Amino acid sequence: MAIRYFLIATFFVAIVSLFLSFEDQKTDTLSAEKPSMIFNNSVLFTINDKEVERVVDSKKTFIFKNKEEMYESKFVFKTKEVDIFDTLVSDVAFKEGEFLSFFGNVVFKRSDYITVTTDEAFYNLTDKTAYNSKDFVAMYYNNELYGNSFYIMDNYYMKSKNVTFKIDMKE
């Protein structure tokens, strides 16, 4: 009699387990995106038909499927002007599509006449503009400028909001 109740209970558990769905409980460590390539102390050149457009130097680079991460990076861009180059140096840089994001000790330098220091900056590779929304300190030759956002185009000009400046009257 006990065997009969055992077989009925086993049959009932088997029928109930057919209709219940059990989800596989996997850890999320496997679902995190892993880089497809890792470079240490890398230098990347972007070359068009005529010249070198961009040089990227970084201590560590991670290339993922849709983005790139660079640490202790330095970007050098060619501008429309003949001998003017834009240089962006930062602790961390992210590239997604045609947009670059720079964070931590960001220094933007245009040739030898302007240097902008800030905590974050963004660069659009399509129209070659640099911009940010944080406070910055800029040196234009020997003059200091302070502001809270800037927009630098691919030519000689720079736009900014809420700027105060100190002019060196010696020159």
pTM over 0.95: no
The pLDDT value recorded for residue 70 is 94
Task: Residue 73: name the closest of 54, 97, 98 by CA.
Answer: 54
Domain boundary assignment for the chain:
37-166
* pLDDT for position 95: 93
The pLDDT, as a whole number, for residue 114 is 85
Class of domain 37-166: mainly beta
pLDDT along the chain (171 residues), means of 10: 86 80 56 84 89 90 92 88 83 93 91 87 86 86 82 69 66 56
Distance CA 80, CA 143 (A): 25
Angle 150-155-161 (CA atoms, 0-180°, nearest 5)? 20
* H/E stretch holding 41: strand 37-47
pLDDT at residue 56, rounded to an integer: 92
pLDDT of residue 151: 79
